[in-house]
Chain A
Amino acid sequence: MRPNDRASLWNAVNAAGNLSDRFLCGVGATATLSDLVRGSCLGGRAAELRGRSVLVFTKSQLTAALALIELDGVARRLVLCPSDFPFEHLLAVVDSAAVNAIVSDWTSLPREISGVGCFITCSPKIAAANDDRTAEHQTEWVLLTSGTTGQPKLVSHTLASLAGAIEIGRSAPTPPVWSTFYDIRRYGGLQIFLRAVLTGASLVLSDAEEPTADFLIRAGAHRVTHISGTPSHWRRALMSPSANRIAPQYVRLSGEIADQAILNHLHSFYPQAKIAHAFASTEAGVAFDVADGLAGFPASLIGSCGNVEMKVEDGSLRIRSQRIAGRYLGPRAEPIAAPDGFVDTGDMLELRGDRYYFVGRRDGVINVGGAKVHPEEVEAAINRHPLVRMSLVHTRKNPITGALVVADVVLKTAPAGTGQTRTLEQEILQFCRETLPRHKVPAAIRFVNNLAVAATGKMVRQPCAMSS
């Protein structure tokens, strides 16, 4: 490191060593880490991004991965935009994060952000360049999660808080090859990206456009040893004839409740693998992982466990550690942690015997295959129908995606018969399809005479029954 050079991802990648044997593999392109020593994915323009707030807006996860390695410590702030992020919220992100540069592999930007400062194209093909990567900044890493009304929340981390759960070190004699079904621009995927690059490993990246079977074949061809995904990702993988193309030593689940059935299925399909399920959230960071093959987690983990303190208060899991996010960015941002430093995850727990089990969310947020759905935004779409008085959106447990969205609807006047009920149902669903992504559209609508309203005037949301 040069004088005034801080810790950075590039410095840590180098410290882990063995760059020429380590690769990042995307669809149709693979980069070796040693290519970055005298090369760049940014066409030699990294210097223009020094000190800026940079939106990393790429189709390809590989391009994003390379840009993140090059820009940590150089940019003042890196905002990570997943490939499925809705364009209509981009401007709010740009404003809240004071974005003044965009790095992208799109040839032209969506009009929402076309006028933003400096635009630098990046490519998974690394070209010769001699960039100065002196780390002058402790770069802020900003992750996007969805808020109650569908507006994104911007969660600010540092490399140190993100990497808090990772034991950083040099390459093992036979370094692991990591992979993940996740997008690395989301917290769960970012953990795997950092784990790979900080611990001297390689990484096979997924792609939203790639069928699961092709991804598994590609992961198998690169001899993936460690692989992570949500229980829904794994259910889908196990329903693919290509599931036997990988032979992992380590299988990790996170992002959704891991039930006993999926743990058993994975154990019988990959008998040689250690199977662990982890709890983490974008705000609270990585809390723990459990590898005893059982759903839930031992009650003995509550209290102080290594670098993480956990407690249960009002039924929900609270976490305090160095891994929690620093703050939300943007107007009207509330604090992430309570005054005592604990983050309320909003995940409700139930004690059965000597284990805790996750039973759903206090705020009724529905987790459809790892994607969060706030009931309020679905209710708003349903309530646009002129004959709807009110609606309550809740979860229905599902063995494929973990949960589905369903709705109870109160009409202003009772429908005239089965025919009209059916028509209304179709109309309401059409209202939802016009404004919501598919996973947020109710899978079923039930017409009811009334809904419970609490003394506060708010509808009563039961913590979702999603126990494992």
Chain B
Amino acid sequence: MSLRSEILSQFDQVAREQDKKLPVLTDNLELMDSGLDSLCLAIIVSRLEDILGIEPFSTSEDVSFPRTVGEFITFYENAAK
């Protein structure tokens, strides 16, 4: 599975488990408008760390945190390089 599809599948799965309705996930969708709260994002980041072995929030040299779904994916792609 590509990094992108792995990330999107975790968004779907955690939203289901946490009873949250996800809109269609496009790159421009703001994370704060995705219907996922901090706890959901925390669980997604933790699952991705188990699956991918990376956790870019603590290690990234990027100056800013991701704000959209697209930036979130790029954030992980940059860390995986």
Given A211-B32, A443-B46, also A399-B38 (CB < 8 A): no
Any chain A CB within 8 A of the CB of B30? yes
Chain B residues, Cβ within 8 Å of A212: 32
Which residues of B lie under 8 Å from residue A259 when comparing CB positions? 58
The answer to whether B42 touches A443 (Cβ under 8 A) is yes
Name the B residues within 8 Å of A239 (CB-CB).
31-32, 41, 65-67
Q: How far is the CA of A404 from the CA of B1 in the complex (A)?
A: 26
- Beyond A238-B65, A438-B39, whether A398 also contacts B30 by CB under 8 A is no
- Checking B38, B50, B67 against A369 with a beta-carbon cut-off of 8 angstroms, the contacting residue is B38
Inside 8 A of B50's CB, which chain A residues have their CB? 444
Q: How far is the CA of A63 from the CA of B53 in the complex (A)?
A: 47
Contact A398 B46 (CB under 8 A): yes
Chain A residues with Cβ under 8 A from B18's Cβ? 438
* B30 cross-chain contacts in A, Cβ below 8 A: 213, 240-241
Q: B12 at the A/B interface (Cβ < 8 Å)?
A: no
| Chain B 23-56 interface 0/1 with A at a Cβ cutoff of 8 Å (1 = within) | 0000000111000001101110111001000010
Distance of A161 Cα from B41 Cα, bound (Å) = 38
Which secondary structure dominates where chain B touches chain A?
A: helix
CB distance from B52 to the nearest CB of A (A): 14
B45 & A398 in contact (Cβ 8 Å cutoff): yes
| Interface 0/1 of A255-280, CB less than 8 Å to B | 00001010001001100000000000
A265 to B63, CA, bound (A): 6
Which A residues are CB-close (under 8 A) to B57? 235, 261, 399-400
Chain B residues, Cβ within 8 Å of A261 = 57-58
> Which residues in A have their C-beta under 8 angstroms from that of B65?
235, 238-239, 265
Instruction: Name which residue of chain B comes closest to A243, CB basis.
Output: B67
Complex Cα distance, B39 from A404, in Å, reads 8
Residues of A within 8 A of B38 (CB): 232, 235-236, 369, 400-401
B64 at interface by CB-CB < 8 Å: yes
Tell whether A223 is near chain B: CB-to-CB under 8 Å: no
- 8 additional contacts (CB under 8 A) given A232-B38, A240-B30, A400-B41: A213-B32, A236-B38, A239-B67, A240-B67, A241-B32, A400-B38, A404-B42, A438-B39
Complex interface residues of chain A between 397 and 411 (CB less than 8 A to chain B)? 398-401, 404
**Shortest beta-carbon distance from A206 to chain B in Å:** 14
Q: How far is the CB of B72 from chain A (nearest CB, A)?
A: 9
The answer for the CA separation of A368 and B38 in the assembled complex, in Å, is 10
Sorting the interface of chain A by its residue count into under 10, 10 to 19, 20 to 34 or 35 or more gives 20 to 34
A439 is an interface residue with CB less than 8 A from chain B: yes
A131 to B51, CA, bound (A): 63
A residues whose Cβ falls under 8 Å from a Cβ of B: 211-213, 232, 235-236, 238-241, 259, 261, 265, 268-269, 368-369, 396, 398-401, 404, 438-439, 443-444
By a beta-carbon cutoff of 8 Å, the part of chain B in contact with chain A is: 18, 30-32, 38-39, 41-43, 45-47, 50, 55, 57-58, 63-67
The interface residues of chain B lying within 8 Å CB-to-CB of A269 are 63-64
Contact residues in B for A369 (Cβ distance below 8 Å): 38-39, 42
Closest Cβ–Cβ distance, residue B27 to chain A (whole Å):
14
Closest to A399 in B: B57
A232-B38, A401-B38 known; A444 and B46 CB under 8 Å? yes
Q: List 22 A-B contacts (CB under 8 A).
A: A235-B38, A235-B65, A236-B38, A238-B65, A239-B41, A239-B66, A240-B67, A261-B58, A268-B64, A269-B63, A369-B38, A369-B42, A398-B42, A398-B46, A399-B57, A399-B58, A400-B42, A400-B57, A401-B38, A401-B39, A438-B39, A444-B46
Residue in A closest to B71 when the chains form the complex, CB atoms = A239
- Give Cα distance in the complex from A369 to B65, angstroms: 17
Check if B43 sits within 8 Å of A265, measured CB to CB. no
Q: Give the distance in Å from the alpha carbon of A180 to the alpha carbon of B66 in the complex.
A: 23
B58 proximity list for chain A (CB < 8 A): 259, 261, 399
Minimal beta-carbon separation of B40 from chain A (angstroms): 9
Please determine whether B45 and A400 come into contact, CB atoms closer than 8 angstroms: yes
Closest Cβ–Cβ distance, residue B78 to chain A (whole Å)? 15
The residue from B32, B39, B41, B63 contacting A439, defined by CB atoms under 8 A apart: B39
The closest CB in chain B to the CB of A232 belongs to B38
Q: Which residues from chain A contact B66 at a C-beta distance below 8 Å?
A: 239
> How many whole Å from A256's CB to the nearest CB in chain B?
12
CA distance A438 to B39 in the complex (A): 8
